[in-house]
Structure formats: C-alpha cells, structure tokens
Structure 1
Amino acid sequence: MSHEKYEGITEALEYAEDTGQSVNVGLNRGGEGVKIEGIIKKVGENFFRILLEETGQIDTVAISEVEYVEYS
C-alpha cells in the first residue's frame, strides 16, 4: 500500500472515530475481500478497533488490510 493511500485511510478512520459515524470498511484478508460495518472506537498507529454492527463485538484490524472506507 502506498504511503498516500495509508494516510488517506487513516484520516478517514480518525474522522469516523471523531464523529461517531458508522462505516463500511472493505478489507483484503488472506487474499479475499471482506466487508465489515460498524463504529470506529479507536485508531492507533497501525490498527483500529471497530464495534461490529453484526455481532456487537469489537474487532482489531490492521490498517494495512483496508482497501476502502465508506461512511454510512
């Protein structure tokens, strides 16, 4: 992932964390596309935590796995 894309994704995640907006996040996990939806709880240097809408559980995700972030 390019540095510019990484920075853009991090900024989008931080905005969602600050505003409490629900987001759809597209991930590349093990070569497969995965879509998760929820509320961003914490953005760290290399990861973020998301409260998953589907299960109500918190998942920790590496930012390097993210393909896109959509606000919902």
Structure 2
Amino acid sequence: MEWLGVDSNDPGYQILTDQEIADMLNDEDTDTTGSVRDDAENETEETRPTHSEAFVGAETMMSWLEKQNESSPPS
C-alpha cells in the first residue's frame, strides 16, 4: 500500500529556472534549418481574404443567422 502515497510530495509540475524557460522559448522559435520562424512573414497575401471578401462573408453569415428560429423574435 506504500505505492498509494508515492506521489504525495510530487506537485504535478516541473519547476523550471528562468534560463530553462528562455532556452525552451528559443528552441520553439527556431525551425529545423536553424533560422528563426516568423509565421506572419510565411503567410502570403494570397492566403488572406480581401476586405471585400470578408465583408461579403460577414453579410452571408448575418443573413443566415437572422433566418434561424433562435434569432427571430416571435411574430
């Protein structure tokens, strides 16, 4: 029955030093080639919708939402 109390002093998380945290963050920012990643630079303008496309999408969503029973007040 000793095995039931084995983890009683374990807080359930690892305490890291400031240097360990900084090292982990630096490792995440570097990809396999060793260059620093910048997700904003990797995303091209072509993958983002234009303002007019976003507006049309928002209008379509609002039109759909207004036709839902939950959104319409009783007549």
TM-score, scaled to structure 1: 0.23
Higher helix share: 2
Higher strand share: 1
Work out which of the two has the higher radius of gyration on C-alpha atoms and give 1 or 2: 2
